[in-house]
Amino acid sequence: MHFELEPQIHPSHASRVAVLLINLGTPDRPTPRSVRRYLAEFLSDPRVIEIPALIWQLILRLIILPLRGRAAAAKYRSIWLSEGSPLRVYTAQQAQALQQQLNAQGYAVSVEYAMRYGSRNIHEMLTQLKRSGVERVLLLPMYPQYCAATTASAFDMAFTALQRMRNQPELRTIRHYADFMPYLDALAAQVRAHWAVHGLPDFASGSRLLLSFHGVPKRIIDLGDPYYMHCQLTATLLAQRLNLSDAEYRITFQSRFGRAEWLRPDTAIVLKELGAAGVKRVDVLCPGFTADCLETLEEIGIEGRAIFLQAGGETYHYIPCLNAAPWFIDGLADLVRLHLQGWPVQNSSGAIS
C-alpha cells in the first residue's frame, strides 16, 4: 500500500472541522467524448451495475458507450448553463450558502463539495481537506433517501481514500434524511412557492402532483436495500404537509435503464396515461434530487412535458429542485448541526461548542 506524502500542519490549524457535500457527478463538458468518459466511470461502479464485470464491460464498451455518448451529449447541451453543468453549479451554490449560514450561526467550519464520479471527486477533496489541516470531516450525501448505488458508493470512495492516508481524519457519515422534518418542510415550501406563482392545481377536476424519484432495479429492493421504503416515507410525509389526499398525488419512478424489472410505476408511462385520460394539468416534483441535473431538467422538464402534452394534457409544470433555496439551506444547517454534536467547533465568540 502506497501512502501519500503528508505535509506538516502548524498546530494552530489543527482540529478544524469540515462538512463535505457529496453529489453524483457530471461530465466536464457537453461533448460526446466527455460524456463517454463520465459514463464509463459511472457505469463501471459495481454498486451501480450488479452484473459480472467481464460480461458488463464488453456490453458497456462495445455497445452502450458508442451508442449513448452522442445522444447523451445532446441532452446535456440542452440544459447546460453558461457557468457549466447545472448539477455542479447548483451544488457549489449549496456549499457556499451552507458555509455562510453556519458561519452566521457561530460555527467555524469549512464547507466544500465533491462528486462521486468525474472531476472534483471524493478522494481528491478529502485529500485537499486533509492537507489544509482538517482533522474531522462530516460526509453529507445530497441523496435524502439511502441507496447502496448512491450513498454506499459515495462512502466506499471516502473509505478507500482513507486507506492511502497515514494520518487519517475522523469521519462521520449521514446515512439518510428521508424523514428529517426540516428537509420535508423545505420540500413543502418549494411546492407552495411554485403554486403561489402558477396557481393551485384544480385537484377536483383531476389535476395531479407527481412525486418522481430515481428508479432502481426491483432486484436490489428484494435483496434488502431500503431505498423504496425511504421514497415512500418521504412522499407520504410530504403529502401530509401539503394536505393532499391519496387521490391528489402519485409516487412514480424515472430513468429506467436496461431490460431488468425496475420499480413501478414508471413516470413516463404515468404521464402518458394521465394525458390520455383527459387530465388537464400535472405538476412534477423530484424529491430525491436536491440539485437540478440532467434527470430533472431534461428528462422531466423537457421529455416529460412532451409526453404529457402529446398524450392530450394541457398544462405541465416541472417544480425545480431545492437547489440553494433558503428554506433548504436552513434545513441543511439543522441537519449538519445535529451531526456535529460532540465535535469541538469554535464559535464566533471564541468558545468551544
Q: Which residues are annotated as a binding site for Fe(2+)?
A: 214, 295
DSSP structural state of residue 10: P
Phi, psi of 213 (to 5 degrees): -105, 155
3-state secondary structure of 214: strand
Q: What are the binding residues?
A: 214, 295
Q: Cell triple for residue 177?
A: 434524511
**How far from 192 is each of 29, 144, 182, 299, CA to CA, in Å?**
34, 20, 15, 23
Cβ contact 66:32 at 8 Å = no
- Kindly give the interhelix angle for 326-340 and 181-198, rounded to the nearest 10 degrees: 180
Radius of gyration of the chain (CA): 21
Q: How many CB atoms lie within 10 A of CB 271?
A: 30
